[in-house]
Amino acid sequence: MLHKKSFWIILIILLIAAGAGGYYYYNNVYLPAQVEEEPAIQTARVRTGDIVVSASGAGSVVPAAEIDLGFRSGGLLADVLVRVGDAVQAGDVLAVLDDTDARKVVALAELQVAQAALQADPTAVNGTLSESNLDVSQAEINLLSAQAKLDELLNWEPDEAAIALAEANLAAAQANYDTAVNKDAAAGNSITAARVNLEQAQANLTDAQAAYNVAFDPGREWELSDPRRATALENERAAAIRNLEKAQGALEIAQANLNLAAANVNNDSAMSAEAQLVNAEQALLKAQTGPTEVEIEAARLQVQQAELSLAQAKLSLTQAQINLEAAQEALAQTVLTAPVDGVVVAVNAQPGESVGTAPFITIADLTQPLLEVYLDETDLDKVGLDYEVEVVFDALPDETFTGHVAQVDPRLAVVDGVTAVKSLVRLDEASFAKPQTLPVGLNAAVEVIGGRTEGALLVPVEALRELAPGQYAVFVMENDEPVLRVVEVGLMDYTYAEILSGLEKGEVVSTGVVATE
């Protein structure tokens, strides 16, 4: 019994001891381990310094301008006057084609121009092909002459002196005729009858001409505006034309009958006198009545013909001159000249070869070296027009050249399967004014300066808290407590940011917290 009692006493003591140990462990070991340590605040002091934002790339020298040259038409290459590396000026002859055929064409065209000039102006013979000879003066003279004749007919007015002379000639012819008829009176009865008919026909023609003149009197033109008088006047004029033509036909028939009668009596003297009389009568009639519509129309036709001849002469001459100019241009194109100053960088043909229109000479402008530069597409925001550039050529590792971005290609390029930003860099003149030249294709490492600031207030980028896109703040330590303050940020790289306003040099800012071990 005693043994069992001791067992329970010992068990109770052990339980008490275990409980006391657990309490100690809970309060002194477990609970302290469960309390989280308060983190420590990391800080940095605002300081001054420099920031350079840049992008690295690779490039090579390319000409400022490059022109591929060839002939406009193919042919046999007679001579090449330049070699690779030659400096040329605008207008210098680079190469020439065999111009034998072209010169023949020019000679033929000159001959055609001479022929056209002679057709237009027969006086232009045995002269040079100067512009003074290449005219159409003869055709113009013919036109002026025909026009003057037409004007004279249209503006005809009776000439009293001419009429008096015609009447005198008619009287003399009549007297001669009467004398001849009297000598041959026995054999002239038939002639007398024909003469009577002729005189009657002449009288009828005179009357018909008078009626024609009255009908076509310019002073009656007003009647055409009156519908009632217009029809009557038109009918009168039509009748006058018919009567005049009928009288002229009757006169011609009477004259033929008279001639036949005179021929039948075989009286040479009477026939001669009769012809003179008829001529005198016709001359008097013409002096009295002026030109007929037939004569005026014939004059108009002559004017039109002269105008057509002048136009044809001008056209022939112009066409010949155009052909000559084309032949001369073709001859000029057998000579290849430099359009600009530059340096010959390629010649891909030799004298004696047949060449087409493909370029075979290349001229480049090497006075202002350019670099064709490629940057990774992620650096697109770091390249723009006029950005500063630093260049170190592989062949000149100890020298740094400077320049500016002159062009940024709006399209991304693919180089060896990698997408890149392509740009052109123009080296500063003072930078490459060195004894050595920069050959085309020279490779270089390029640093494009996207931004640069010196002596600026700087804070670590970890100190920035972005409130909104482009708006930032920092925690400034005041009395060991962080206070939020809005700041204006300028340039920023991967490490530091430029503070434009909101902070002073020497102030302390929070950069975050770090757990303590």
pLDDT in tens, 373-394: 998 888 888 888 888 898 999 9
If asked whether residues 449 and 460 sit together in one domain, one would say no
Number of H helices, E strands in the chain: 10, 21
Q: Is residue 295 part of a domain?
A: no
- Asked if the model's pLDDT at residue 325 lies above 80, the reply is yes
Q: Are 351 and 377 part of one and the same domain?
A: no
Are 170 and 273 found together in one domain?
A: yes
Q: pLDDT exceeding 90 applies to what percent of the chain?
A: 7
Decide which of 231, 256, 290 is a domain's last residue: 290
25, 59: one domain? no
Under DSSP, is residue 132 helix (H, G, I), strand (E, B) or coil? coil
Residue (of 105, 506, 509, 115) closest to 334 by Cα position: 105
**In a 10 Å sphere around its CB, with 0-12 CB exposed, 13-18 middle and 19+ buried, how is residue 502 labelled?**
middle
Which CATH number characterizes residue 433's domain? 2.40.30.170
Whether residue 169 sits in one domain with residue 278: yes
- Whether residue 405 lies inside any domain: the answer is yes
* DSSP labels, 395-433: TEEEEEEEEEEEEE-SS-EEETTEEEEEEEEEEPHHHH-
User: Is residue 97 within 8 Å of residue 75, measured between CB atoms?
Assistant: yes
Strands, sheet with 75-80, edge to edge from the N-terminal-most edge strand: 335-337, 93-97, 75-80, 354-355
What's the chain's length in residues?
Answer: 517
120, 314 in Cβ contact below 8 A? yes
Residue 408: domain span: 52-63+365-453
- Predicted pLDDT at 106: 83
Q: Are 167 and 272 within one domain?
A: yes
**What local confidence, expressed as pLDDT, does residue 8 receive?**
40
Residues 245 and 274 grouped into a single domain: yes
Same structural domain for residues 167 and 249?
A: yes
Using alpha carbons, select from 409, 407, 489, 403 the residue that is nearest to residue 449: 403
- Decide if 115 is inside a domain: no
Cα-to-chain-centroid distance, residue 177: 82
Domain final residue, candidates 290, 309, 344: 290
Residues 182 and 229 in one domain: yes
Residue 84 scores a pLDDT above 90: no
Percent of the chain with pLDDT strictly greater than 70 = 78
Decide if 108 is inside a domain. Answer: no
The pTM is what?
0.44
| Number of domains composing the chain | 5
Range with the lowest mean pLDDT among 322-336, 372-386, 503-517? 503-517
Phi, psi of 60 (to 5 degrees): -145, 155
Tens-digit pLDDT profile for residues 225-284: 778 787 887 888 888 888 888 888 888 898 888 787 766 665 566 677 778 778 877 776
* Same domain? 168 vs 277: yes
- Per-residue model confidence (pLDDT) at position 96: 87
Looking at the structure, tell me whether residues 261 and 244 fall in a common domain: yes
Pairwise pLDDT comparison (14 vs 258), residue with the higher score: 258
- Cβ count within 10 A of residue 445: 14
**Same domain for 281 and 271:** yes
442-501 pLDDT per residue, tens: 899 998 987 888 888 999 999 999 888 889 999 999 888 899 999 999 888 888 999 999
Locate tokens 């241009």: which residue?
Answer: 329
Domain stops at, among 424, 453, 482: 453
In a domain, 328, yes or no: no
Q: Tell me, yes or no, whether 175 lies in a domain.
A: yes
Q: What is the secondary structure of 265-322 as a DSSP string?
A: HT-HHHHHHHHHHHHHHHHHHHHHH---HHHHHHHHHHHHHHHHHHHHHHHHHHHHHH
Question: How many CB atoms neighbour CB 104 within 10 A?
Answer: 12
Element (H, E) at 262: helix 227-265
List all residues 6 or more positions away from 434 whose beta carbon is below 8 Å from its beta carbon.
399
Reading the block at residue 248, the tokens are 């002229």
C-alpha distances in angstroms, 89 versus 330, 368, 506?
A: 23, 16, 64
What is residue 130's predicted lDDT score, i.e. its pLDDT?
Answer: 46
Q: Report pLDDT for 474.
A: 92
User: Which of 85, 129, 38, 49 has its CA nearest to residue 324?
Assistant: 129
Per the prediction, the chain carries an average pLDDT of: 78
